[in-house]
Chains A and B, each alone.
Chain A
Amino acid sequence: MTEKESMELITSMINKAKDRYSENGVLYLLWGWLIFTCCLIQFISIHFFNYPKAYYAWYSTWVLFLYQLYYMRKRKKSRKVRIYSGEIIGYVWLVFIITYALLIYILVYTKSYAAISPAILTVFGIPTFLSGIILKFKALKIGGICCWILALISPFVNYDYQYLLEAGALVAAWIIPGHLLYQKFKIEKQYGRKATI
């Protein structure tokens, strides 16, 4: 093998792995739209109907969580190559779940309810921004930064409006990048080449 040939071999292997991993954005879209809907339901019921029990809408996230477990298992089986960046992204999301659960627990336990929404926005920014860095995908980086800006604004608004900020963060962080990723994935699949968006 010449140096050139071995480099070509490596590049082709990397591309193969990349293709197999290529984010289709489905999970971003599913979670983005579901949480976006929950936020809107909660805002409308509190703001217009003064109905405080709309938080029950959030229980729907458990259904999606179970579906995600099934989806990831299915995907893992079909994927033969495990690449380093994919592994790191997995851990970034694990860290997000741990951090999210701990923050909610601490804030509820200490009855610091007003800080919940700004803290959630802060934490949303972490996996979004870092996934953007790891996948080298600008829309996710911008989405992460949007979450942090909204987290800074959130303490200054009334708590019913905080749900609107959360909905805005989801559009910027998961829904828009999710659609872009989905589009890119479709183009790549159709033409069998890398698409730049």
Chain B
Amino acid sequence: MEEKQLSEKESLELITSMINKAKNKVTESGALYLFWGWLILLCCIVQFVGLHFFNYAYSFYVWYSTWILLIFQFFYIIKQKKSLGVKSYTGEINGFVWLAFFICMVLVIFISIHFKYYEIIFPLILVMYGIPTFLSGIILKFRPLIIGGACCWAFSFLSSFVTSEYQSLFIAAAVIAAWIIPGYILKQNFKKEKNNGV
């Protein structure tokens, strides 16, 4: 086979194109951010309205709907994994960031319930939300997610001053800042990139 001679400029172009290719593969479509963002926002509002206006204590049952999305996500990720041939380094790290988040989330909820410290569940969840959001922003070099993560931490700090009824509103605000807004921006970018074939 004849070896192709590459100039320095050409080899740089080759590297850049390879990086872009890999980048596109991890380009977030924003779908999961939007699914989770909207579902949790809805749960927060249902819980707040149920507690505040109807004094209905069992409105927290609405959170069980997250299990359905979790199962859906499982199949969605498997499908996506099949369609993506190459697994990039950043994509892999990002996946583990979300795995660590999931483990920690389960652990802090378990710890709070075990000690019957119900009033700290939402502030702790907010602290946890900030972790994968901020780190995904760093890994994908996507500022709205970095800002979203910082918002989660600011809200977690503030939420410790209010009763648990109002804490759900802080979660609602956090998912808008951390997942819904960045989710739409990611979706828009993804569509643009797909249209332009970049």
The answer to whether A119 and B124 have CB atoms under 8 Å apart is yes
Give the CA-CA distance A64 to B144 in the complex, in Å: 34
Closest CB of chain A to B133's CB: distance in Å? Answer: 10
Give the CA-CA distance A1 to B14 in the complex, in Å: 13
Q: Chain A, interface size: which category?
A: 35 or more
Closest CB of chain B to A130's CB: distance in Å? Answer: 6
Closest CB of chain A to B65's CB: distance in Å? Answer: 25
Which of A2-10, A18-26, A46-54, A69-77 lies on the face that meets chain B? A2-10
Q: A6-B6, A110-B120, A130-B96 in contact; A122/B107 too (CB < 8 A)?
A: yes
The answer to whether B130 and A10 have CB atoms under 8 Å apart is no
Label chain A's interface by main secondary structure: helix
Residues of A within 8 A of B107 (CB): 118, 122, 148, 151-152
Q: A92-B135, A95-B131, A109-B160 in contact; A152/B3 too (CB < 8 A)?
A: no
Give the CA-CA distance A129 to B135 in the complex, in Å: 14
The answer to whether A2 and B6 have CB atoms under 8 Å apart is yes
Q: Chain B, interface size: which category?
A: 35 or more
The answer to whether B131 and A119 have CB atoms under 8 Å apart is no
Which of B44-52, B69-77, B111-119, B181-189 lies on the face that meets chain A? B111-119
Give the CA-CA distance A99 to B100 in the complex, in Å: 13
The answer to whether B115 and A114 have CB atoms under 8 Å apart is yes
Q: Which of chain A's residues 84-110 have a Cβ closer than 8 Å to chain B?
A: 87-88, 91-92, 95, 98-99, 102-103, 105-107, 109-110
Closest CB of chain B to A11's CB: distance in Å? Answer: 12
Closest CB of chain B to A56's CB: distance in Å? Answer: 26
B112 closest partner in A (C-beta): A115
Q: Which of chain A's residues 8-37 have a Cβ closer than 8 Å to chain B?
A: 10
The answer to whether A95 and B115 have CB atoms under 8 Å apart is no
Residues of A within 8 A of B127 (CB): 99, 102-103, 106
Give the CA-CA distance A87 to B104 in the complex, in Å: 23
B86 within 8 A of A: no
Residues of A within 8 A of B100 (CB): 125-126, 129-130, 144
Give the CA-CA distance A122 to B108 in the complex, in Å: 8
Give the CA-CA distance A122 to B103 in the complex, in Å: 9
Give the CA-CA distance A103 to B128 in the complex, in Å: 10
Give the CA-CA distance A133 to B4 in the complex, in Å: 36
Residues of B within 8 A of A129 (CB): 96, 100
Give the CA-CA distance A112 to B87 in the complex, in Å: 42
Give the CA-CA distance A114 to B6 in the complex, in Å: 64
**Nearest 10 pairs of A and B residues by beta carbon:** A6-B11, A112-B117, A133-B96, A122-B107, A118-B111, A155-B114, A91-B138, A102-B127, A106-B123, A114-B115
Pairs A–B under 8 Å by Cβ, sample size 25? A1-B5, A2-B3, A2-B6, A3-B3, A91-B138, A95-B135, A98-B130, A105-B157, A106-B120, A106-B156, A107-B120, A114-B115, A115-B117, A115-B120, A118-B107, A125-B104, A126-B100, A129-B96, A130-B97, A130-B100, A130-B135, A133-B92, A134-B93, A148-B103, A155-B110
